[in-house]
Chains A and B, each alone.
Chain A
Amino acid sequence: MVVITVQLGALITAALLMVIGTIALVYFDNVVKKIIGAAFIGDGVNLLLVALGYKAGGISYIFLQNMEVNSFLGQAAYPLSFALVLTSIVIGASTLAVMLALTVVLYKRHGTLSASTLLGDDRMGEDNNE
Chain B
Amino acid sequence: MILPIISIVLALAKGLIPMLTASNAPAEIIADAQSAVDLFTKVHGTIVTKAQVDSLLIDPKW
Decide whether A and B are members of one complex.
no
Interface residues of A (CB under 8 A from B): none
Question: Interface residues, chain B, CB within 8 Å of chain A?
Answer: none
